[in-house]
A and B are shown apart, each in its own frame.
Chain A
Amino acid sequence: MSTDPAKPVAYRDALNQALREELTRDPDVFLLGEDIAGFDGAFKVTRGLLADFGPERVVDTPITEAGFTGMAIGAAMAGLRPVVEIMTVNFALLALDQIVNNAAKIHYMFGGQASVPIVIRMPGGAGHQLSSQHSQTLDAWFAHVPGLKVVCPSTPEDAKGLLKTAIRDNDPVIFIENEGLYGKKGPVGGPDDLIPFGQAVVRRPGTHCTVIAHSRMVWVALQAAEELASQGVEVEVIDPRTFRPLDLDTLASSVRRTGHAVVVDEGWPEYGISAGLATLLYEACFDWLDAPIGRVTCADVPMPYAKNLEQAALPQPADVVAAVLANIGQGVA
């Protein structure tokens, strides 16, 4: 239970701290998922929790995503606060009916008589040669659905603070981590430091172009920003952190200031996060735009297995640099 705020903590351990603190704070909170108890979770986020909270509150389930997600929704309706771990977002497809048709709809369809205070945690992302079925970024699938809250933390601090907010929230929260971030270290807040939903954060201030990125792409964008700074171009990197609710004001006011925007998304380009954000920004900032909004996304292909192709398909800092330079009108020589 040592949470020295000065000491850098890995993203996975920040999540662990949030779970541990909330399990301690609220007896209604319990965890369930595949291999989260005896095995500490596929990404070791739930390490040690079985020993400290026991098998009634840290529950191993069979490989039945639709089943245990549905069970958790029922428990949430009955007053508990389940935190579901789905091993990766790719397996959440098996539970989509429960998520979209039950979790997102019950409060609405029963006229507010029931709420579904559930958190569904899962990592998305690619980069480990897991090929096309296990390398997906499906943030947009959930962000598309009214009735869900969708959270995509990029730092240990956000992972902890947003997860605590999610657990205390009375609505279903889809909490999408990233496989490439679990080892990322940084400072974290204390037991009472909650980060509210719907507040974007400026990761790096700048004047020439607004770069919007979330989750692991924040780090790609920041790397690009360093490179651009060495060329005299200062980009403003903004992390929306949550897509439902979305802090459009912060994004739009930045874009109105810079006149240029590039959206970076690890997901596919068509009809996805980048497309949605670009549309919202066009609507909010049209008269301030000096160029069409740029997008840097995963290639529009199933993720290749081969390392070189996988890296080519994913957004890289150089792609962001090129997109920004093209956007502000400096051709890439």
Chain B
Amino acid sequence: MPEMLMPKLSDTMEEGTVLRWFKADGDQVAKGEPLVEIETDKATMTVEAPNDGTLAIIAQEGDTLDVGAPIAMIGDGAPKGVEPPGTRSTGNASTTDGPAAPSEGTVATGIPTTDDGTGDTIAAATPAAAAPVPPPAPPTPAAAPPPARTAPSSGDRIPASPLARNIAAHHGIDLATVTGTGPGGRIVKHDVEAVVAGAPIGAPAGMEPPGTRSTESASTTAGPAAPIGTDSQSSTTPPLGGAAPAQPVPPKLPPPVPRGDWPAGRRTPLTRLQKTISRRMTDAHAVPDFTLERDIDTTALEAARADLRVALPEDQRPSLNDLIIRAVAMAARERPDMVSRLDGDDLVVPQSVDVGVAVSVPGGLIVPVVRNADQKGVPQIAAEVRDLARRGRAGELRPDELEGSAISVSNLGMFGVDRFHAVINAPEAAIVGVGRSVERPVVVDGHVVVREVMTLTLSVDHRVAYGAEGATFLARIAELLEHPAALLV
């Protein structure tokens, strides 16, 4: 039945509003008679019926639609209340003429297959180039009435082949109960047939030997078939309700065929960020490093931090991590050997002490850089780190904000981690891993007292610096942190 589309009534018209239908839904209309009044961007115009037939209105009075959108159907035997396109569901109610007649698809295929554009002289020679006829019913499963599509109840779509869905719907099988053995865990025909045949749900459904593959095999084994063979293993499940020798024996499934290179799990490709991290971490693995640990008394540091909360506006109040960044930067300024990087057979000392700060972001990890951290006060470092972390999580950092750090700080203390060995952010020479600051019993002057303590680990590229150098560097960081006033100069 021909669709009547929103006409383009002026050069600039992009949409139109249906003001008034002159005929009612279901009326007979004649070609050329005034049918509908449409308001365009410029004027109100009356549009005539393009052909004879029964009117089925799609666009109601007051509706505004794009040019080309269907506003009515005019033809014979119009069903009332034709759904406007877009709300049409794919192939249940409307396709009553065959099992899931591919209504949308054949519209497109009709063009290339029916018309090779060479005119009527072809017709005699091309009997088979007719319009695609409704598909003949397929053999067993879909010869039944059109399967009602059950939408997946949960948000996760279950991967299943269209054929498997068809068979499952036909047999009323919930796909959630079927184990998929196809690529990526896709449920394929065989898996559904295995359930139909009474295989235990969730059992690995192996492929049948190809010679026995047929659509019919499922239905034959589904019935009360005679026991297959005398293999006792095929009836390990005792029949319920006492001994009943006539009980059908569950068919024995052939062993699963190896799946070649298909892993059982679901695959997700790495994001670009994850690929970068993967490459960098692999590079880092080549760095011969060692790790030093040292407990630091952070009682004074915590007190200083509390004082600074009083003194500073909210966006400049330092976290413990900000204070550690400051300490690491100050120590690094005094110790260029700890921020050197290996370049071939040369050691290169950077011109500024730029400190990288590891930040967890959705789906990965980034290390934005606080430039010249040794020359910046605690409030400025606090503000910058806060800003870098926020923009990093939003994916708004520029590449140059993620490059060129001389040493990095990674902190997992907020997750309750006591200490960890951080991976050097190559080509840097060292990284500081920060554990949590927590009250611990400590011996001071022969007495056990409670103090705030944090463990720092320093991982060092052993090609650039050595154990003693690393130890004195870590000692200097500890000294600065245990005397927090030094951080504020």
> Which residues of A pack against B, CB within 8 Å?
104, 107-108, 112, 115, 146-149, 165, 169-172, 196-199, 207-208, 231-234, 244-249, 252-253, 256-257, 259, 280, 282-291, 326, 328-333
Give CA–CA (A249, B100) in the complex, Å: 16
In the complex, which residue of chain B has the Cβ closest to the Cβ of A256? B138
A283 and B108: CB pair below 8 A?
yes
B100 and A257: CB pair below 8 A?
no
Give CA–CA (A108, B118) in the complex, Å: 6
Name A147's contact: one of B116, B139, B258 (CB within 8 Å).
B116
B214 and A289: CB pair below 8 A?
no
B128 and A287: CB pair below 8 A?
no
Chain B residues whose CB sits within 8 angstroms of the CB of A171 once the complex forms: 116, 118-119, 121-122
B161 and A330: CB pair below 8 A?
no
Q: How far is the CB of B442 from chain A (nearest CB, A)?
A: 60
B132 and A329: CB pair below 8 A?
no
Chain A residues whose CB sits within 8 angstroms of the CB of B116 once the complex forms: 146-149, 171, 244-245
Interface residue SS majority, chain A: loop
B118 and A332: CB pair below 8 A?
no
In the complex, which residue of chain A has the Cβ closest to the Cβ of B99? A287
Give CA–CA (A103, B164) in the complex, Å: 46
Chain B residues whose CB sits within 8 angstroms of the CB of A199 once the complex forms: 128
Give the interface centre of A146, A169, A287 by most chain B CB atoms within 10 Å: A287
CB within 8 Å for A196 and B125 given contacts A234-B210, A287-B102:
yes
CB within 8 Å for A147 and B117 given contacts A282-B105, A283-B108, A288-B138:
yes
B129 and A198: CB pair below 8 A?
yes
CB within 8 Å for A290 and B189 given contacts A256-B138, A330-B210:
yes
A165 and B125: CB pair below 8 A?
yes
A232 and B182: CB pair below 8 A?
no
Chain B residues whose CB sits within 8 angstroms of the CB of A196 once the complex forms: 125-128
Q: 8 extra interchain contacts, Cβ-Cβ under 8 A, other than A148-B118, A207-B213, A328-B213?
A: A112-B119, A146-B116, A146-B118, A259-B161, A280-B113, A289-B163, A290-B189, A329-B188
Q: How far is the CB of B6 from chain A (nearest CB, A)?
A: 27
Give CA–CA (A123, B181) in the complex, Å: 44
Chain B residues whose CB sits within 8 angstroms of the CB of A253 once the complex forms: 135-136
Tell me the residues in window 247-277 of chain B with beta carbons closer than 8 Å to chain A beta carbons. Answer: 257-262
Give CA–CA (A328, B105) in the complex, Å: 24
Name A249's contact: one of B105, B132, B161, B211 (CB within 8 Å).
B132
In the complex, which residue of chain A has the Cβ closest to the Cβ of B190? A329
Residue B209 is within 8 A (CB to CB) of chain A in the complex: yes
Give the interface centre of A165, A246, A282, A332 by most chain B CB atoms within 10 Å: A246
Chain A residues whose CB sits within 8 angstroms of the CB of B122 once the complex forms: 149, 169-171, 245
B142 and A288: CB pair below 8 A?
yes
B127 and A198: CB pair below 8 A?
yes
Interface residue SS majority, chain B: loop
Give CA–CA (A328, B136) in the complex, Å: 23
In the complex, which residue of chain A has the Cβ closest to the Cβ of B211? A232
Residue B311 is within 8 A (CB to CB) of chain A in the complex: no
A247 and B128: CB pair below 8 A?
yes
Residue B298 is within 8 A (CB to CB) of chain A in the complex: no
Q: How far is the CB of A132 from chain B (nearest CB, A)?
A: 30
Residue B166 is within 8 A (CB to CB) of chain A in the complex: yes
Chain B residues whose CB sits within 8 angstroms of the CB of A332 once the complex forms: 260
20 A-B residue pairs with Cβ-Cβ distance under 8 Å, sorted by A, are A108-B118, A115-B121, A148-B116, A149-B116, A149-B118, A171-B118, A198-B128, A207-B213, A208-B213, A231-B210, A232-B209, A234-B210, A245-B126, A256-B138, A284-B105, A286-B162, A289-B163, A290-B162, A290-B163, A331-B257
Give CA–CA (A49, B86) in the complex, Å: 62
In the complex, which residue of chain B has the Cβ closest to the Cβ of A104? B117
Tell me the residues in window 83-136 of chain B with beta carbons closer than 8 Å to chain A beta carbons. Answer: 99-100, 102, 104-106, 108-109, 112-113, 115-122, 125-129, 132-133, 135-136
Residue B487 is within 8 A (CB to CB) of chain A in the complex: no
Chain B residues whose CB sits within 8 angstroms of the CB of A146 once the complex forms: 112, 115-118
Give the 8 A-B residue pairs with the shortest CB-CB distance, closest first.
A331-B260, A283-B105, A245-B129, A146-B117, A198-B128, A171-B118, A331-B259, A170-B121
Give CA–CA (A284, B135) in the complex, Å: 8
Residue B207 is within 8 A (CB to CB) of chain A in the complex: yes
A248 and B136: CB pair below 8 A?
no
Name A107's contact: one of B118, B126, B127, B162 (CB within 8 Å).
B118
In the complex, which residue of chain A has the Cβ closest to the Cβ of B166? A287
Chain A residues whose CB sits within 8 angstroms of the CB of B161 once the complex forms: 259, 289-291
